[in-house]
Structure 1
Amino acid sequence: MSRLLLLLAAVAQAREIAFPPVAAIHGAAGGRQVPLHHQTYQSSGSIDVDDVDLTVDAMGGLTSFAHLPYVSCFSPQTDAEVGSYDIAVLGAPFDTATSFRPGARFGPHGIRDGSRRIRPAHSWSVYTGLNRFEEWAKLVDCGDAPLTFTDNTVALKQLVKATKLISARKPNNESMTAAPRILMLGGDHTITLAALRSTYAHWGVVSVIHFDSHIDTWNPHLENGGVTEYAAVNHGTFLHIAHEEGLISNDSSIHAGIRAPLGTRRDDLDNDVQCGFEIVTARDIDRIGTQGIIDQLKKRVGGNNVYITVDIDVLDPAFAPATGTSEPGGWTSRELLTILDGLVGLKVIGGDVVEVAPAYDNTGETTCLAAAEVARSLISLMVATPV
């Protein structure tokens, strides 16, 4: 019994130390007396509530990409009222042209959530020693383009108009860029067609670096059995359509990470060549490594203006399960980021991260985190080489 009493007394003493009574803190007369176990902390100086900084937290405020300032980019107001910028993040909540699992309309939301840990002031690279967010470019988040979900044709026209409005504004730093550049968050891959249509107005024909597990140059007149012209425009045909419209280079575009089976033995590949593409397969990385991939991509596009589009399914499903058409045997997140960062020096005039469908992600948000980091790499490429 004596041992039990001693134990109970020790517990009571510990509770009093950890949770002192109010009187011990405020004193009988209401004056503040600091508990013994708080004295070391308080002796270094207390912080008044008026001195608390609300600008450096990791979770507060609305979730823009990487905590960038939000700008109402579609406002009819003048540049002076809206504000100028050099690179704009734009969400494209569109997924009604998918061929398998839907859900990428929530991709912009998921990628922004995945970017909550990214803060411009704290983005110094351990690899380069640089912080591209802190250089010449003013970056903003324009939110999502207002797209209808009932008519693909209208939605793509809305997206073209939205991107043209954004890029038509005067850049903040005119000495470094001819027009504001856009990083688009998808959305299924069809949105890249709208981006290329808008890009053409400012930059003309561009070379495309297309990270994907699928070639996406399928003939739209054969895809889906050629049922209707409406059905022909989808996330597997948009690059063929971009070629037909004269938006992309005929001899300097390239796929990277391709591994999905083809629909025919030769026709798909022959058509792909006609659309102006070379192919780097996913397994090429086992033979030539990441530097070999980088060298091949740079050699192909040369000194042309480049649009980089990243379908998140270029990653293996182990690293990006939340996508519409997963294909085993893809690259790791590290490999993809190494390749992207190795493209520094290219004249990247725009880019996107697409096919993120958060409903299929795991509790660790693996896909959304990877997509956000890819987006950060694309922004870094745009900042690294003024155009």
Structure 2
Amino acid sequence: MKFPSTLVGLAAVVAAHGDHDHQEVFEGPHNGLWYNTLPGDGGTQADAVFSGISTFGRIPYSPCLSSHAADYDIAFLGAPFDTGTSYRPGARFGPSGIRQGSRRLNLYGGYNVPLAANPFNSWAKVIDCGDIPVTSYDNAYALQQIEEGHNLVLSRKPHTHANQPGPSKKGRTLPRVITLGGDHTITLPLLRSINREYGPVTVIHFDSHLDTWKPKVFGGSPSEQASINHGTYFFHAAQEGLLANDTNIHAGIRTTLSGPSDYENDGYCGFSIVEAREIDKIGIDGIIKKIKERVGTTNPVYLSIDIDTLDPAFAPATGTPETGGWTTRELRTIIRGLEGVNLIAADIVEVAPAYDTNAELTTMAAADVLYEVMTLMVKKGPLSLMEKGETLELK
């Protein structure tokens, strides 16, 4: 396959670090944001959270798709694509909106109190790789760009434990990539990229919609290109063998259906379902228990989060809002409850900032949810530890 010229293949060769008990600690962004306020005055001033270029949580930026200079353990990557949506467009601005909503994450140092860890100050080197260049004129080509761009970031050696065994198909340790969408169609090329490195993976899918609809049911499937959209990508993923059989789960579902047969088709795609309304009967702990029992703690897991899991009262800026959803507090608590799951990569999608309030409710909620995901990855430790069944003791 010929890669787009903007996505040249990169392979950063990085030296392996030693035992994980003696890891280098990467300090948060505040440490490097001091500068002289006036020439010759000898004073310094901290950069304010409202100034500077927006990266996720104001972490360092590196143009990973055009340079091999950077290495990392966790990378944030934007996929500004929204021409697979069925209702409101605008998620192409999701990556920039989420970054803007993330500015305050480390205002007080970034320590995550419920998870007792600081994802900004840890063993993990975390950077923002910017956005994949994505065309808005050709969906098939755009999905190829997303797959190749993601794979170029995913397939490098990580900064930490670079030469240690890991859970990938080649037995290597890889970095983790957190993707900022984009509408939910992007999850298909992301899973294709994941499959190239890991094979079929278990998926935890937070959403108000199933997204396993057959193309003839959702959109009519007038062409092969039109058959791939934000309601059918899991159907295609199942057909392509990208999903681990019968270990996948939806959480937060509350949409209307074309009929009961949609549930049957969802089962064929290998998913079980946690309805949003179940939280009223089994509570947050019950939701967490169902998810963890389904996916286990040994499988490599991909986490995909549609912001419309939240009720529109908490996240109005999304492409296909559904009332009756969870609160931001509930979703963050459920995400934290996934501690111990082997998250190898994640995405958050369907953030369309044009529909947000002036208070940036949705973009802040998306950023805060990813802050929880990032903390879980840091607490789990390098993926090399998955091979040994170890966990990292944070100090």
TM-score range relative to shorter protein = 0.7 to 0.9
3-state SS of 2:220 partner: helix
The answer to whether residue 262 in structure 2 is matched with residue 275 in structure 1 is no
Q: Which amino acid aligns with 2:269?
A: C
| Alpha-carbon distance, 1:205 to partner | 1.2
Q: Which amino acid aligns with 2:258?
A: G
> Residues 241 and 250 from structure 1, CA distance in 2 versus in 1: closer, same or farther, beyond 3 angstroms?
same
> Residues 201 and 121 from structure 1, CA distance in 2 versus in 1: closer, same or farther, beyond 3 angstroms?
farther
- 2: CA distance between counterparts of 1:253 and 1:230? 26
| Alpha-carbon distance, 1:120 to partner | 8.2
3-state SS of 2:225 partner: helix
Q: Which fold has the larger relative contact order, with Cα–Cα distance below 8 Å and residues 6 or more apart in sequence?
A: 2
TM-score normalized with structure 1 length: 0.84
Query: More displaced, 376-385 or 119-128?
Result: 119-128
Q: Which amino acid aligns with 2:376?
A: L
The answer to whether residue 160 in structure 2 is matched with residue 168 in structure 1 is no
- 1: CA distance between counterparts of 2:334 and 2:271? 19
Contact 1:285 1:292 in 2 (8 A): yes
| Alpha-carbon distance, 1:121 to partner | 7.3
2:279 to 246, 268, 285: 285
- 1: CA distance between counterparts of 2:51 and 2:161? 32
5+ residue gaps, structure 1, are: 1-47
The answer to whether residue 59 in structure 2 is matched with residue 72 in structure 1 is no
Describe the superposition over 1:80-119 as per-residue Cα deviations: whole angstroms up to 9, x where unpaired: xx12101110011100000001000000011000001112
| Alpha-carbon distance, 1:382 to partner | 1.7
3-state SS of 2:226 partner: helix
The equivalent residue for 1:114 is 101
- 2: CA distance between counterparts of 1:297 and 1:274? 18
- 2: CA distance between counterparts of 1:128 and 1:224? 42
- 2: CA distance between counterparts of 1:283 and 1:189? 23
- 1: CA distance between counterparts of 2:76 and 2:377? 12
- 1:70-219 alignment runs, 5 A limit: 70-75=61-66, 77=67, 79=68, 82-119=69-106, 122-174=109-161, 178-219=173-214
Moved over 6 A (4+): none
Task: Give the number of equivalent residue pairs.
Answer: 335
The equivalent residue for 1:3 is none
The equivalent residue for 2:344 is 349
Describe the superposition over 1:103-148 as per-residue Cα deviations: whole angstroms up to 9, x where unpaired: 0000001100000111287111222332122121110001110000
- 2: CA distance between counterparts of 1:315 and 1:52? 42
Describe the superposition over 1:198-247 as per-residue Cα deviations: whole angstroms up to 9, x where unpaired: 11112221110000000000012432222111111000000111111111
- RMSD after superposition: 1.6
The answer to whether residue 240 in structure 2 is matched with residue 248 in structure 1 is no
Contact 2:201 2:300 in 1 (8 A): yes
5+ residue gaps, structure 2, are: 1-39, 167-172, 384-395
Contact 1:123 1:131 in 2 (8 A): yes
- 2: CA distance between counterparts of 1:205 and 1:368? 31
Contact 1:120 1:134 in 2 (8 A): no
TM-score normalized with structure 2 length: 0.82
| Alpha-carbon distance, 1:57 to partner | 2.4
- 2: CA distance between counterparts of 1:382 and 1:202? 18
- 1: CA distance between counterparts of 2:75 and 2:310? 25
Q: Which amino acid aligns with 1:285?
A: I
Q: Which amino acid aligns with 1:251?
A: D
Contact 1:88 1:140 in 2 (8 A): yes
- 2: CA distance between counterparts of 1:311 and 1:327? 12
Contact 2:88 2:319 in 1 (8 A): yes
The answer to whether residue 320 in structure 2 is matched with residue 332 in structure 1 is no
Contact 1:317 1:330 in 2 (8 A): yes
The equivalent residue for 2:303 is 308
The equivalent residue for 2:54 is 63
In proportion to residue count, which structure has more helix?
1
Describe the superposition over 1:310-368 as per-residue Cα deviations: whole angstroms up to 9, x where unpaired: 00000000000000110000000000000000101100000011000000001111001
Contact 2:235 2:269 in 1 (8 A): yes
The equivalent residue for 1:227 is 222
Describe the superposition over 1:16-51 as per-residue Cα deviations: whole angstroms up to 9, x where unpaired: xxxxxxxxxxxxxxxxxxxxxxxxxxxxxxxx8322
| Alpha-carbon distance, 1:380 to partner | 1.4
2:354 to 353, 359, 367: 359
Contact 2:303 2:345 in 1 (8 A): yes
The equivalent residue for 1:317 is 312
The equivalent residue for 1:49 is 41
- 2: CA distance between counterparts of 1:307 and 1:299? 16
- 1:374-385 alignment runs, 5 A limit: 374-385=369-380
- 1: CA distance between counterparts of 2:246 and 2:103? 39
